[in-house]
Structure 1
Amino acid sequence: MPTSPTDSRSWSDAVLWSVAETSAYLRVPAKTLYEWRYKGDGPPSHRVGRYVRYVPSEVHTWVCDQ
């Protein structure tokens, strides 16, 4: 997470998307994201505590690689 204004990462890079936000961006049902995660397909996902989160830049990269 950026710690100072001179940090090379921006605050937008530090924001994680929820399943709902990622499904809205990709325009697929949340259930599809959970299925992709189970099968090992789909954009990279990360477990944060009991929640599944997505890094926006990783989702964008995954979309471009499809």
Structure 2
Amino acid sequence: MNHSLFTTKEAAQFLGVSKAFLERDRWAGARVPFIKVGSRAVRYRLSDLEEYVERQIRHSTSEVA
């Protein structure tokens, strides 16, 4: 099991999205799981990012998420 922790910037690069996307996602209910370290630091586990990517797989553009 890999316990690598990514910063928001690193997680955004891994997913190919902006930091703002992840910041909005946390504010709106966090589809991408994250970890709070202390009172302010936010980190993402590699395993959670990989699982998120797997959940995004679709077979048609008309498929409902």
TM-score by length of 2: 0.76
1:38 aligns with 2:27: yes
Seq. identity, %: 31
Aligned to 1:6: none
> Mind listing any 5+ residue stretches in structure 1 that lack a counterpart?
1-8
Task: Report the secondary structure of 2:6's partner residue.
Answer: coil
CA contact (8 A) 1:18 1:54 kept: yes
User: What is aligned with 1:28?
Assistant: 17
State the 1:27 CA deviation: 1.1
Higher helix share: 1
User: Which has the larger share of strand?
Assistant: 2
Structure 2 residue 11 is matched with structure 1 residue 60: no
Determine if contact 1:18/1:53 at 8 Å carries over to the other structure: yes
The alignment's TM-score, normalised by the length of structure 1, stands at 0.75
Q: CA deviation at 1:41?
A: 3.5
Matched with 2:36 is 47
One-letter code aligned to 1:42: R
SS at match of 1:54: strand
